[in-house]
Structure 1
Amino acid sequence: MRSPTRPALLAAGWAAAAALVLVAPGNLVMRLAFGMFDDPGLGRQSLLAALGVLLALATVRLGTRTAVRPQERRADGTVRPALWARTATWTAAGLPVLGFSVPHLLWGLGLPLGVAGGSRAELAGLGGSAVFWALLVAGPVAGGLLTLGLIARWGQVFPAWVPFAGGRRVPRCLAAVPAAAVGMLVGQYGAMMTGCLAFGVTRTCAPGGGAEVLDGSWGFAGTYPVFLLWGTSLLAAAAGYLHTTARARLSDS
């Protein structure tokens, strides 16, 4: 399929899948994670998200089956991911570090970058919290390093030093499912809150109040688009991993 049909179908598939997974369900994954099952629209939103995931998988399959470029093998036999997969993965690994860890690092050190006067006092005590440093500074860095496994050799084959599994092929779900789940979690939240920033914070976005904390604090508000871009790139990285490993299996069969 070398005609314009292939890129058009792939673009349409990815656009529709992104809308169904990130926008249509609202903040679905976070509500499920916190046990908020009383929303009457939960069933409909779950169905839309499931349809988006199925469409994304179908699009990955289409891209894999109709790929026109030859597959590149590394010296150890693992497959070298396509450029778009490597780009998406590096983006997904770097965004949470630059857009989340770095601002929180500065805030923890007492530098209120992008924070209005009313919120500066609340940031003063963050530097003494171990939970703050572990979750909001070190956590995204660790997540970024794990994300790079989607394009690394050890994301396809376990290193030799891993007990009982060294040298064996990594189960695809072991890498793809956590990446997709986190991508949906942060991406849905980012899509919802970025929309609220663009069109005005409403009761839907801040039902318990507290929207005033964003007044003049572009450092806080800027994390919402970061979540959206992080989630989108992480989902693309997971799709790239599935594409890479599927092509490896096709060539081995």
Structure 2
Amino acid sequence: MTAQIDAPVTVGRVRTAWRGAHAPVAGVPRWARIAAYTVPLTVLPSGLWRIAGITFHLPIDINEGGHGSGDLPSWLPMELYVVLLSVLSELLAFTAIGLIARWGEVFPRWIPGLGGRRVPTRAVVVTAALGAAVLTVVWTVGFVALFAGVTVTGEPTPADFPTQAGGWQAAIFYLCYLPLLLWGPLLAAVTFAYHRRRRNH
């Protein structure tokens, strides 16, 4: 009986937390809200591709022998690293929603020493603007190099790189990674809206 009572309470708490993390504050333009919600969706496909191809070894990657550990420490398997990288990327992308939500203007109360205090506008704007600029440059340069058949350092694309397979494997790779080109510009647009809204308050 207790478990049956606890389940709705838990669901209610999750729902409340979800709304609190996503609900826009007053004054957020509709276009900024859509742009902020879109940012995590631009990162999600590439993360799913990495997890599917490298962690679960689905045949969407031509490297049938698996990916080596590279410079990873011996205690960190590549499969686990890919999951952690994908989750971290998604969490980083989720911070764009903070530019339209209350937690981007007032620190949540559970943060020690900062809870309830106003988030400094300039620090947020500078950090987000730099992030948007870096993301735009990195992904644009990366795809220009990729379409030219070279890496960002000018070396030829490795034979086991996903796009070398051609056909459906390359198509899936592009479908999953091309949305990353929108990450920087969308973040820049939401940052502009955040700056303009908070400057007027």
Q: Same fold (TM over 0.5)?
A: yes
2-structure distance, mates of 1:178, 1:134: 23
Distance 1:233 1:211, change over 3 A: farther
2:29 is matched with which residue: 59, 62, 82? Answer: 82
> Do residues 201 (structure 1) and 149 (structure 2) align?
yes
1:191 is matched with which residue: 140, 161, 173? Answer: 140
1-structure distance, mates of 2:146, 2:154: 15
1-structure distance, mates of 2:185, 2:59: 28
Asked if structure 2 preserves the Cα contact closer than 8 Å seen for 1:84 and 1:240, the reply is no
- Give the deviation of 1:155 after TM superposition: 0.6
Aligned counterparts, 1:56-95, within 5 A: 79-95=26-42
1-structure distance, mates of 2:77, 2:150: 33
Asked if structure 1 preserves the Cα contact closer than 8 Å seen for 2:132 and 2:187, the reply is yes
- Give the deviation of 1:176 after TM superposition: 2.6
- Give the deviation of 1:196 after TM superposition: 4.1
Distance 1:111 1:220, change over 3 A: same
Amino acid at match of 2:185: T
Aligned counterparts, 1:47-196, within 5 A: 79-97=26-44, 99-107=45-53, 108-113=55-60, 115-116=61-62, 119-123=63-67, 128-129=77-78, 130-135=80-85, 137-196=86-145
Distance 1:211 1:243, change over 3 A: farther
- Give the deviation of 1:163 after TM superposition: 2.9
Residues 130-149 of structure 1 deviation map (CA, whole Å, 9 limit, x = unaligned): 322211x2112211332211
2-structure distance, mates of 1:239, 1:156: 15
- Unpaired segments ≥5 residues, structure 1: 1-77
Amino acid at match of 2:143: T
TM norm structure 1: 0.55
Pairwise CA RMSD: 2.8
2-structure distance, mates of 1:90, 1:124: 35
Residues 175-230 of structure 1 deviation map (CA, whole Å, 9 limit, x = unaligned): 233322232222112222333455x3358x45122254222242444455222111
Amino acid at match of 1:143: L
TM norm structure 2: 0.68
Q: Secondary structure at the match of 2:37?
A: helix
Residues 90-116 of structure 1 deviation map (CA, whole Å, 9 limit, x = unaligned): 11122112x221111211111132x33
Q: Secondary structure at the match of 1:229?
A: helix
Asked if structure 1 preserves the Cα contact closer than 8 Å seen for 2:43 and 2:90, the reply is yes
Residues 46-79 of structure 1 deviation map (CA, whole Å, 9 limit, x = unaligned): xxxxxxxxxxxxxxxxxxxxxxxxxxxxxxxx53
Q: Secondary structure at the match of 1:79?
A: coil
Amino acid at match of 2:149: V
Percent identity over the alignment is 24
Amino acid at match of 1:105: I
> How many equivalent pairs are there?
164
Amino acid at match of 2:81: V
2-structure distance, mates of 1:210, 1:90: 33
Q: Which residue of 1 aligns with 2:13?
A: none
Asked if structure 1 preserves the Cα contact closer than 8 Å seen for 2:32 and 2:193, the reply is yes
Amino acid at match of 2:124: A
